[in-house]
Amino acid sequence: MSMKTSVIVFCLGLFTSLCMANDKVKSNAEDAGIQNGKKLFEANCLACHAGAMPEAPKIEALNLYSPERIYHALNSGIMSTSALMLSNQDIRQVAYYLTGKQVEDNKKQREQFLCKAGPQAAKPGTQARWTGWGGAQGNQRFQAQETILNPDNVNGLKLKWAFGFPETTRVRSQPTVTASFVYIGSQEGTVYALDADTGCIHWTFDAGTEVRGAIKLHAHPTDGRSILVFGDTKANAYSLDASTGQMLWKTKVHEHILATVTGSVNADQDKVYVPVSSSEVVPAGRSEYECCTFRGSLVALNLIDGSIAWQTYTTPEPIATGKNSAGANNFGPSGAPIWSSPMLDSKRNLIIATTGQNYSSPATGTSDAVIAMDTDTGKVRWVTQVWENDAWNGGCSRKTANCPKEDGPDFDIGTGVILIDTAHDKQLLLVGQKSGLVFALDPDQNGKILWQKRVGSGGTMGGVHWGMRSDGDRLYVGVSDLPTRNPYTKGEPKPGLNALDPATGELLWHLPMPNDCPAETKFRCYPGISAAVSSSPGLVFAGGMDGMLRAVDANNGEVLWEQNTYQPYTTVNGVDGKGGSIEADGPVIANGQVYITSGYDKWAEMPGNVLLVFALPEE
């Protein structure tokens, strides 16, 4: 062998050895990253995600997250307070441990799925087929304009298209629909303008954090162009140009670090009304946390520029009340969040909101209540409390030092108030509660309770959880009754759908939901209806935590059509799609089509990431 050849062989061998050494160092570093991530997760997160905090996603659900989603949640999202002592590298290693993948800095490109024709002019806000939470004023969730679907042909519904949300395991945004556009938010913070016919993307907007609830399509107060208004989980409110996605303004609506917008905003001619909730119940589960300093509020913004017109809080400002048994400072009163959609009563110049429980003692008269405020000033005109002495936080689930003396029952009002017309020019307010109770209130007698009816046993997830539907003749109520170890439940669970006479509360019919869940599943499958219920003439649409979507005869409760959404889907945008539990946001009926989101990763429910659109086949 020549000297030259020997040198080449030596160099190649050295290069190979160095590469192998580098690979080994890299492998060891990655293994160390996983091990450190495991250690950090077990020290800071495991207890809640292993079942001590039932609302927290199961570890099996976290394994389905993208590393970017976990990084965002710990760095600046809902779990950021639990990661205050973690470095940026620590957070990356936790994400690596849970997903087996490193955090990437670049978002997935979407250009290949843009509509070929480019953005088109959106319809004015007045032309929306379904906008906001209730579809129209009154929060009724009744699509009176639907003329295509009826009880005779609804069993012909077929999947038209499916859209997959990347980097997500739940869909908490209800679509807003025009003749040609669908507007919807996502868990990873992207707002999409989709084509209503094909599902292709007209434009996207990056809010940077989860957008929940329904986006409100509205007319701009000066030039009449279509705009979108909505909130995010960092307590920001936005206005966008509906045609282009260009941001018109962005406003922080609450000063608390854990404030969030879960409920859908509402709007009138010149104001946007933003309900503010909080995630403070989660860190309150730690005994060393100084609980609690958040208080719910409703914020009115000027529609034209996003400036704050008024802000009304649901409790007095929290003050020091002593120390818990672990030595941490306690504060109160607190809580009474608004995580439902407020309802506009233009006849009485009111915006009416519902509240949740207090987070700490003392319990107030404004928790688990219906609160009516003047739309011009925010002044509280009347309060009707439907459950007294409700104070609860995550410490009650974990049996730690911050659980208030009331210890529940955690019976928030999660449904937005419904305003209906009845006979003899009389109006009623209808509201459902997690207790399993439904109430009718008199808007002309300061919210006086006229009747109450129990439709379920109640629980932390309902009872009546997210929404009901009424057209004035009947009230349709979905019942969850998901078992959650809540000691305040009454009677046996009754998961199903109910029709009530809104004038009297009389039960007209009850449709129990069969338990067709698989015998073995690593996620919780349950037949109850937690998501909001919707309807069109002659039909009621309801989605279950088991992933079943059903169309029911409004007159007698007969099931006319059903679809199991708990399955994989081929999506129009190339994202791996999978349905799961149907939660929170309900079906939307528009243009002869039914829109439903499927997938929810909290409370150990079945994750998913799809928007599904069903329609009658074209002849």
pLDDT band at 410 (very low <50, low <70, confident <90, very high): very high
**pLDDT mean over 388-408:** 96
Q: Dihedral sign, CA of 169, 174, 176, 180?
A: positive
How many CA atoms within 13 Å lie on the side-chain side of 154?
A: 26
Between 105-119, 283-297, 432-446, the lowest mean confidence (pLDDT) is in: 105-119
Query: 482, 528 in Cβ contact below 8 A?
Result: yes
Task: Give the C-alpha separation, 528 to 601, whole Å.
Answer: 16
Q: What's the angle, vertex CA 172, arms to CA 177 and CA 548, rounded to 5? A: 85
- SS3 at position 593: strand
- SS3 at position 268: coil
Q: Mean pLDDT in the chain?
A: 90
Reading the block at residue 115, the tokens are 């509509």
Q: What CATH class has 183-211+213-261+264-337+341-412?
A: mainly beta
Between 30-44, 265-279, 381-395, 584-598, the lowest mean confidence (pLDDT) is in: 30-44
Q: Is the pLDDT of residue 399 over 70?
A: yes
Task: Give the C-alpha separation, 190 to 58, whole Å.
Answer: 24
Reading the block at residue 422, the tokens are 């009845």
pLDDT at residue 21 in the model: 46
Start-to-end CA span in the chain (Å): 80
Q: Tell me: the pLDDT tens digits for 562-606? A: 999 999 999 999 999 999 999 999 999 999 999 999 999 988 899
For residue 341, which amino acid is it?
S
Task: Give the C-alpha separation, 408 to 393, whole Å.
Answer: 8
- SS3 at position 559: strand
Query: 550, 542 in Cβ contact below 8 A?
Result: yes
Query: 337, 315 in Cβ contact below 8 A?
Result: no
Distances in Å between the Cα of 569 and the Cα atoms of 200, 325, 532 are 16, 51, 23
pLDDT at residue 36 in the model: 83
pLDDT at residue 216 in the model: 97
Task: Give the C-alpha separation, 484 to 503, whole Å.
Answer: 32
pLDDT at residue 284 in the model: 96
Please classify residue 508 by burial: count the beta carbons closer than 10 Å to its beta carbon, then call 0-12 exposed, 13-18 middle and 19+ buried.
middle
DSSP strands (E only) in 433-538: 437-442, 448-454, 468-470, 475-479, 496-500, 507-512, 534-536
Task: Give the C-alpha separation, 97 to 103, whole Å.
Answer: 11
Q: Tell me: the pLDDT tens digits for 290-319? A: 999 999 999 999 999 999 999 999 999 999
Task: Give the C-alpha separation, 565 to 197, whole Å.
Answer: 20
pLDDT at residue 70 in the model: 80
DSSP 156: G
Domain boundaries, the chain: 26-99, 183-211+213-261+264-337+341-412
Task: Report, in angstroms and rounded to the nearest whole number, the Rg of the chain calculated over CA atoms.
Answer: 25
Token pair 């949740």 is found at 356
pLDDT at residue 603 in the model: 81
Q: For residue 174, list its beta bridge partners.
A: 214
pLDDT at residue 78 in the model: 62
Query: 234, 211 in Cβ contact below 8 A?
Result: no
Please classify residue 302 by burial: count the beta carbons closer than 10 Å to its beta carbon, then call 0-12 exposed, 13-18 middle and 19+ buried.
middle
Q: Is the pLDDT of residue 398 over 60?
A: yes
Query: 527, 548 in Cβ contact below 8 A?
Result: yes
* Alpha-helical segments (H) within 220-369: none
Task: Give the C-alpha separation, 327 to 499, whole Å.
Answer: 50
Please classify residue 282 by burial: count the beta carbons closer than 10 Å to its beta carbon, then call 0-12 exposed, 13-18 middle and 19+ buried.
buried
